[in-house]
Amino acid sequence: MTISETVCRGSILDQNPAITIPENQKYDLVCTGCKTAYFNDRLKCDSDNGLLRTNYRNKKLELKDAPGIGKFHDWLPVNELITTDSGPVTYRSTELAQYLGLKNLFIGFNGYWPERGANIKTCSFKELEAFPTLSKFKNSGKSLVLASAGNTARAFAHVSAMTGVNVYIVVPGSGISRMWLPEEPTDSIHFIQMGNKCDYTDSIHLAERLSAAPGMQAEGGARNVARRDGMGTVMLDASIFMKRIPDHYFQAIGSGTGGIAAWEAALRLLEDGRFGTALPQLHLSQNLPFVPMYNAWEAGRRDIIKDIDMPEPKKLIHEMYADILSNREPPYSVPGGVYDALCATNGSMYAISNDAAKNGVTLFEDLEGIDIFPPAGVAVASLIEAVDAGKVKKDDYIVLNITGGGVKRVEQDHKLYKIEPSAYAENANVPLEEII
């Protein structure tokens, strides 16, 4: 009996109910907990804590004649077509596949590698979140507030520079080195640097306070369907490329939102009917020693117990190779969250050591020919572990999400500019007038 079979009784496993969407609307939002439908954009359900999920009118994915992420317009919660060459790219692996003895290994490369058609200039799949979010938000008249460990900040700053949408981005000290852009920063970018003792969760708490100020709007994090559906295009692109839903999907996670997004995208593909009849198994990985979701999952618990699953969290985060994979309050237990995604897909979680992650980075660059970020190295290491443990078969169709890479390559084509902070916050409780 698998871990998911023993712990997942009572989880949210069903798809969205059949709901009639008004003729003039592209989608509605359905609570994964109580199933209430909403026909206005929002972040939360009025009745419970369940994540809202987008229910699109068009159940068949019809690709638009557009570059990048815009081709998936039917399943993005935006009305205007996104026109950018930034989007997910899938290719069949040869070298890494041969090394691991796999016949059908496909790489979802989400970074900068123009020779492969990959044009995410911030080198992170967080751009897939930023474009639909800012496209959706640009006419609101408010400033968007978000927190980031670095990669999300860079992606949203990049799209802000392209669109002129005002963003206030709160980043902990550990993320400062990631604050660069492939173009000159604009006045629309407001970067708030936190103290060196702060982590990503501290940034989230400060961003929550800031978003309550007049003229500000919270971006929403995992509750933002534009972010999740943007990340879900990795699963869409891979399934279209392979002409089927994969058997397995590998990704490293910090909050786990990318894993939720992959599950939701696969649910839509099932409903489409042309890509298969089974969900992919999710293989989600965290970087030791900070692995709260892994600990809770292995213990068979829906809830994360802080003192057990992440004792001394800031100390553990400091010891991580991929410290960006750190969120002390991930959407694990909420209806429609990571726990339910793992249950629905008979998924697995992995706790990857720093040495194994570093080996994953080196191995991928040596075999596939492009540099990747530490979180992607964690995902590579989890695939190696799954192969060694017999969790995947050599003929299985496997998608490995490389969530970031190509910095060495982007440096050849673009001048990179540092984003200077517009304000400094020693902790999450500083007076807001010191920031705005």
Length of the chain counted residue by residue: 436
Q: For residue 410, what are the contacts with CB-CB under 8 A and spacing of at least 6?
A: 112, 121, 123, 182, 416
Same-domain check for residues 134 and 236:
no
Residue 175 and residue 251 in one domain: no
Question: Does 185 share its domain with 202?
Answer: yes
> Is pLDDT of 102 > 70?
yes
Of the two residues 196 and 49, the one the predictor is more confident about is: 49
- How many folded domains does the chain comprise? 2
203 and 273 share one domain: no
Q: How many CB atoms lie within 10 A of CB 206?
A: 24
Whether 30 maps to a domain, the answer reads no
Evaluate whether residue 334 is within a structural domain.
Answer: yes
pLDDT tens, position by position, 209-260: 999 999 999 999 999 999 999 999 999 999 999 999 999 999 999 999 999 9
| Banded pLDDT at 1 (limits 50, 70, 90) | very low
Poorest-pLDDT segment among 83-97, 171-185, 233-247, 330-344: 171-185
Is position 13 within any domain? no
pLDDT at 139 over 90: no
Question: Does one domain contain both 279 and 302?
Answer: yes
Q: What is the token pair recorded at 244?
A: 């089927």
d(CA 28, CA 420): 39
CB–CB of 219/145 below 8 Å? Answer: yes
* Direct distance between the N- and C-terminal alpha carbons of the chain, in angstroms, rounded to an integer: 54
In a domain, 273, yes or no: yes
| This prediction's pTM | 0.95
Same domain, 190 and 277: no
Taking residues 64-70, what's their average pLDDT? 96
Tell me, what's the pLDDT at 313?
94
Within this chain, do residues 249 and 392 fall inside the same structural domain, yes or no? yes
Is residue 232 domain-shared with residue 210, that is, in the same domain?
no
Mean pLDDT confidence for 135-145: 90
Range with the lowest mean pLDDT among 28-32, 379-383, 431-435? 431-435
Task: Assign residue 384 the CATH number of its domain.
Answer: 3.40.50.1100
Residue 117 has pLDDT above 90, yes or no: yes
- Evaluate whether residue 80 is within a structural domain: no
Q: What percent of the chain has pLDDT over 90?
A: 88
The pLDDT of residue 17:
52
Residue 139 covered by a domain: yes
Q: How confident is the model at residue 11 (pLDDT cuts 50, 70, 90)?
A: low
252 and 344, same domain (yes or no)? yes
Burial of 172 (0-12, 13-18, 19+ CB in 10 A): buried
Query: What is the pLDDT, as a whole number, of residue 9?
Result: 55
Angle ∠(251,28,327) on CA atoms, nearest 5: 30
Q: Based on the domain organization, do 428 and 296 belong to the same domain?
A: no
State yes or no: pLDDT of 98 exceeds 80: yes
Q: Which pLDDT value is given to residue 53?
A: 98
Residue 26, domain member (yes or no): no
Do 240 and 266 reside in the same domain of the chain? yes
Alpha carbon distances (Å) from 264 to 13, 193, 272, 318, 340: 11, 33, 13, 32, 11
pLDDT of residue 45: 97
**Two tokens at 329?**
């309050």
Handedness of CA 167, 172, 175, 179 (dihedral sign): positive
Please report the pLDDT score of residue 370 as a whole number. Answer: 98
Asked, for residue 84, whether it belongs to a domain, the answer is no
Question: What's the chain's average pLDDT?
Answer: 94
Residues 403 and 421 in one domain: no
Segment among 48-52, 138-142, 151-155, 179-183 with least mean pLDDT? 138-142
- Residue 8 pLDDT grade (very low, low, confident, very high; cuts 50, 70, 90): confident
pLDDT at 103: 98
Domain with 151, as residue range(s), is 127-223+414-434
Tell me which amino acid residue 325 is: L
Which residues have C-beta within 8 Å of that of residue 23, sequence separation ≥ 6? none
**Amino acid identity, position 29:** L
For residue 390, pLDDT beyond 70: yes
pLDDT at position 343, please?
A: 98
Q: Residues 6 or more apart from 165 whose CB is under 8 A from it?
A: 134, 137, 138, 144, 159, 188
CA distance 125 to 117: 14
More confident residue, 205 or 173: 205
Residue whose C-alpha is closest to residue 87's, from 71, 101, 74: 71
pLDDT band at 262 (very low <50, low <70, confident <90, very high): very high
Model pLDDT, residue 18: 59
